[in-house]
Chain A
Amino acid sequence: MIEVQDLGKRFSHGRGARARSVQALDGVSFTAADGRITGLLGPNGAGKTTTLRIAAALIEPDAGRVHVDGIDVATRPTEALARMGVLSDARGLYPRLSARENIVYYGRLHGLGRAAANARAEVLARLLDMQPLLDRRTDGFSQGERMKTALARALVHDPANIVLDEPTNGLDVLATRALRDTLRRLRDEEGKCIVFSTHIMQEVERLCDEVVVVSHGRTVAAGSVAELKAAAGQSDFEETFVALAFSADERRQQGAA
């Protein structure tokens, strides 16, 4: 279970007269339960990636807390990371290593023995349908193959909580469908807590048990797809999202442009 409470974060760039600061987060809160898929839906620049980076202990928040299975990420980051599998926006692989070596490397860093890490790589290759890739160098991999390898790498230590930052970016239809199936199986068969961020409505509609709408660094709505539609008084989910995420002024400006 991942609990995010009232996160605040301000970024500053430059120095002196050219200094500028941006309020990236200003009150993001949500709870992602075990055995459920929680979608973090928001327009570009809403603060999704920053939220997930704070959850993965890469950034320290100015305000608020993140608990992973009751462990405070800020004070006990190593323990929290051991219970989380994170597929971040940056998912670079080592081109001179095979997919298996990439996965086993992370397994070893999570404290698994060589044999255990290898066994996990086999299990994940079956789950993600990537056995033929396992012993090829990742140099010539397609986007979908890279994503699978990066996901397997993130899941090598069999974490109870899975955090994915825009996982379908750059994937074609088949790869996206395969990923969706995988996430469902992880939820249904293993009862994982899955959080993923996206700006694609379809994905949320098809996959999420719970949706958290983030806009301007704030949680503006949360609930199931049906609940959100009802709250906005819309039958179409895209209309629902626009109504929830943008102010009336913004909608008018976008319309004019």
Chain B
Amino acid sequence: MIAAAWTVYLKELVDALRDRRTLLVVLLSSVAIGPAVLVLISQLVAGIEQRAEARIVVVHGIEHAPALRNYLERQTYTVREAPPGYEQQLRDSKLGDPVLVVPPDFEADLARGKAPVVELLASATNQRSLTGSGAVLRLLRGYNQEQATLRLAVRGVSPALLEAVRIEERDLADPASRAAQISTMVPFFVLMAVLYGALNAALDTTAGERERGSLEPLLMNPAPRLALVLGKWGAVASVGILIAVLSCLSFVPGQWLLRSEALSAMFRFGLGEAAAFVGLLLPLAGALAALLMAIAIRCRSFKEAQANATIVMLGVSLLPLVTIFNQEGQAPWHLWVPALAQTTLMSRVLRGEDLPWADVALASGICALLAAAAIAFVARTLRTAALK
């Protein structure tokens, strides 16, 4: 039994690894694309950082408000005149900064004690302008505060009277957990790498074997069916894990390419994290390999199997989104769902949190159960599949 399974395992592994063209495509799509996206995001973040460091306020009509200009410059901000047609440019995302519009009678209204209205223009569809508008709002509040304090001081009132409560902001996230926000995509990419890696081998050893007409002769060997299925499954899971290992390792040098210094300091993905990822993904690779095989063994052709496997692909790619859309954070049931559980645990690794053994065992145990059920199904279906 074990000897037969080992024989099948070696043969299927050799067979899958000789399928160079498919492997190359899988490698390109799952190993190269992760770091590429990482670099793209780093450029975006670097752009935002640059803007923050540049300390520029884009204003239309600053000539009407010399006092405001004075305040902005005292805060070491550079005031820049808004380009003509700035509204359209903001709409088209051509202008990356929000625009402050000052009315002509700003100074006069202020002198009369009437609150002038300034507008801060940004567009919800222009992400960069939205990000920048927070800083400008804080600046304007500071100006308000200064004006109010001066007026009270003139009337001999202590400004502290107005401030019943003093507020100090403190960001509790440590650098690692802030980095996790941008690196949530890493688990997603390695998860898909497992799936893409296993997909082709899983279909080839089941539906492909059936289509070629090699399944019927295979069953005429005096080897137990379970041994055949176990060997095939082992090979499929191994290919999935191989691709996952390569994908995890590709993120390690990927971080050297990060343009933003702050980001590369925050994105902690070393060999330790890569090893933890692979450990978490092992049982999932087993479960996905068995599941794909169970789906494909019922199909008459490779093509039909590909169409059916789309359901698994869709499920695995959509499940991690639960963690993004779910406002309540991590729920206990997340650990009960394969793929979602691994995503959750992997993001904990990225945040530098401890992995409780009970959680890892639960997530892995469910994968093992799923794999066992799917393998049993394939072994049971093998004979009927060979004859159709």
Contact = CB atoms under 8 A, between A and B. Distances in A.
Interface string B214-255: 111111111110000000000000000000000000000000
Contacts of B213: 90-92
A111 B11 CA distance: 15
A74 B147 CA distance: 98
B387 A88 contact: no
A88 B11 CA distance: 21
Contact of A109 (B4, B14, B215, B387): B4
A95 B11 CA distance: 12
B217 A105 contact: no
A79 B223 CA distance: 10
A10 interface: no
Given A82-B222, A109-B8, A110-B222, A90 B383 contact: no
Interface string A92-109: 111111000100011011
Interface string A105-141: 1101111000000000000000000000000000000
A86 interface: yes
B11 A105 contact: yes
Nearest to B219: A58
Given A59-B387, A97-B11, A109-B4, A92 B214 contact: yes
A86 B218 CA distance: 10
Contacts of B212: 92-95
Interface in A32-71: 53, 56-59
A153 interface: yes
B205 to A, nearest CB: 10
Interface residues of A, number: 33
A241 B383 CA distance: 34
A157 to B, nearest CB: 9
Interface string A67-83: 00000000001110110
Given A93-B214, A94-B15, A97-B15, A105 B7 contact: yes
A79 B222 contact: yes
Contacts of B15: 94, 96-97
Main secondary structure of the interface of B (DSSP, over half): helix
Contacts of A82: 222
A56 B220 contact: yes
Given A58-B383, A97-B14, A97-B15, A109 B216 contact: no
B248 to A, nearest CB: 27
Contact of B18 (A81, A96, A150): A96
Interface in B8-30: 8, 11, 14-15, 18-19
B386 A58 contact: yes
A257 B15 CA distance: 50
Contacts of B214: 90, 92-94
B3 interface: yes
Interface string B161-175: 000000000000000
Contacts of A150: 217
A109 B232 CA distance: 13
Nearest to A109: B221
A91 B220 contact: no
Contacts of A91: 213, 217
Given A58-B216, A88-B216, A90-B213, A110 B221 contact: yes
Contacts of A111: 3, 222
Interface in B193-227: 209, 212-224
A154 interface: yes
A9 to B, nearest CB: 12
Contacts of A53: 387
Contact of B217 (A90, A97, A108, A110): A90
A167 to B, nearest CB: 13
Contact of A81 (B3, B19, B222): B222
Contacts of B4: 108-109
Q: Of B3, B11, B18, B215, which is in contact with the most chain A CB atoms at under 10 Å from its CB?
A: B11
A130 to B, nearest CB: 18
Nearest to B221: A109
A67 to B, nearest CB: 16
Contacts of A90: 213-217, 386
B222 A78 contact: yes
A60 to B, nearest CB: 10
A80 B209 CA distance: 24
A92 B217 CA distance: 8
B23 to A, nearest CB: 12
Given A90-B386, A97-B15, A109-B218, 18 more contacts: A58-B387, A78-B222, A84-B220, A88-B216, A89-B216, A90-B214, A90-B216, A91-B217, A92-B212, A92-B213, A93-B214, A94-B11, A94-B214, A97-B18, A109-B4, A109-B7, A153-B217, A154-B217
Interface of B: 3-4, 7-8, 11, 14-15, 18-19, 209, 212-224, 383, 386-387
17 contacts: A58-B383, A77-B222, A78-B224, A79-B222, A81-B220, A89-B216, A90-B214, A91-B217, A92-B213, A92-B214, A96-B15, A96-B19, A105-B7, A108-B7, A109-B218, A150-B217, A153-B217
